[in-house]
């Protein structure tokens, strides 16, 4: 289920090949892998090898299964394939331009920094990638350690990027490149296995959910302000492993979806200083 609080769009994926948007059911066919909502509430659906716009039919067909889908601020769609294929898809005519990933790998998650224009891809393997639409240079490969590639996210204004993997949680500063032009990176002091990741929408604060075992107090949240220090501000325990995190647009409320089937909402649970 996806709910976009800014556009008030609600979409459900109840069965293979069907979606329900604002109470209206639509058959799209194929296995629905991802949904994306534009700034004006338009819903794009990745199903099988196709991308459709809700209510408008198939927009584009690619050569591999589409694993992730996001909207870019210039009103294009970015689609990731199961064999490392990234495509920019025009919503006007469905035409597509591909981005070459230097080391390939299946892409599990995409994210876009609306302010800076960066796009990031988390890969199932040892690499993450970043690039911009208006640059002719190929995507930059970032070594992040073997992972599922799902835990990737930009800071509020797109100047920092985090990859969380079982071996490392790292932040890359896109405003401070090294001599080779790569974004400067730092490792964050962490514990356990990261299970969810989310940046605060207005401040320089990143939160990851971690699991350190199966006993009481072994699941919780770590929070950092990376430009101040690589050590966490603190650790807050949760009743079960956290599978998803989401801030409200104003950053006053953090919602947690947990592995035991419960959802918890806390009013500003972390001291933002």
The residue assigned the tokens 């109840």 is 14
Measure the CA–CA gap between 250 and 253, rounded to whole angstroms. Answer: 8
Question: Where residue 75 sits, what CATH number does that domain have?
Answer: 2.120.10.30
For the entire predicted model, the pTM comes to: 0.85
What's the number of domains the chain is made of? 2
Strand segments (E) across 124-248 = 125-132, 140-147, 152-154, 160-164, 169-177, 183-187, 193-199, 206-211, 219-224, 234-237, 242-247
**129 falls within a domain:** no
| Structural domain for 22, as ranges | 1-99
Domain boundary among 99, 114, 129: 99
Q: Which helix (H) or strand (E) holds 76?
A: strand 76-81
pLDDT digits (tens), the chain, 273 positions? 554 545 555 555 555 677 777 778 888 888 888 889 888 888 899 998 999 998 888 999 988 889 899 998 888 899 988 777 788 899 999 998 888 787 777 888 999 998 888 999 998 888 889 988 766 567 888 888 788 889 999 999 899 999 998 878 899 998 877 766 778 888 898 888 999 999 999 999 999 999 987 667 789 999 999 999 999 988 888 989 999 999 988 888 899 999 888 888 876 555 543
**105 falls within a domain:** no
**161 falls within a domain:** no
Domain boundary among 73, 99, 125: 99
Q: What is the DSSP letter of 180?
A: T
**88 falls within a domain:** yes
**27 falls within a domain:** yes
**167 falls within a domain:** no
Query: CA Rg, the chain, in Å?
Result: 18
**254 falls within a domain:** yes
**203 falls within a domain:** yes
Measure the CA–CA gap between 184 and 6, rounded to whole angstroms. Answer: 33
Domain boundary among 99, 133, 166: 99
């Amino acid at each position: 289920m996806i709910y976009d609080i800014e556009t008030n769009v609600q979409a459900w994926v109840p069965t293979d090949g069907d979606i329900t948007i604002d109470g209206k059911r639509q058959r799209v066919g194929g296995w629905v892998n991802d949904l994306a909502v534009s700034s004006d509430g338009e819903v794009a659906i990745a199903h099988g090898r196709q991308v459709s716009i809700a209510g408008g039919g198939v927009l584009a067909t690619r050569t591999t299964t589409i694993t992730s889908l996001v909207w870019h601020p210039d009103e294009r769609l970015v689609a990731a394939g199961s064999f490392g294929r990234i495509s920019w898809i025009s919503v006007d005519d469905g035409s597509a331009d591909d981005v070459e990933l230097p080391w390939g790998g299946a892409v599990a998650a995409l994210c876009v920094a609306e302010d800076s224009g960066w796009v990031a891809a988390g890969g199932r393997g040892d690499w993450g990638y970043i690039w911009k639409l208006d640059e002719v240079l190929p995507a930059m490969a970032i070594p992040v350690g073997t992972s599922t590639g799902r835990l990737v996210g930009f800071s509020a204004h797109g100047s920092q990027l985090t990859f969380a993997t079982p071996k490392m949680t790292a932040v890359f500063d896109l405003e401070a490149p090294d001599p080779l032009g790569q974004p400067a990176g730092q490792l964050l002091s962490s514990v356990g296995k990261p299970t969810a990741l989310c940046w605060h929408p207005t401040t320089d604060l990143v939160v990851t959910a971690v699991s350190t075992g199966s006993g009481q107090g072994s699941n919780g949240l770590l929070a950092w302000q990376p430009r101040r220090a690589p050590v966490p501000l603190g650790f807050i325990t949760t009743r079960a492993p956290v599978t998803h995190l989401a801030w409200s647009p104003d950053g006053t409320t953090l919602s947690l979806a947990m592995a035991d089937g419960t959802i918890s909402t806390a009013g500003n649970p972390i001291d933002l200083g």
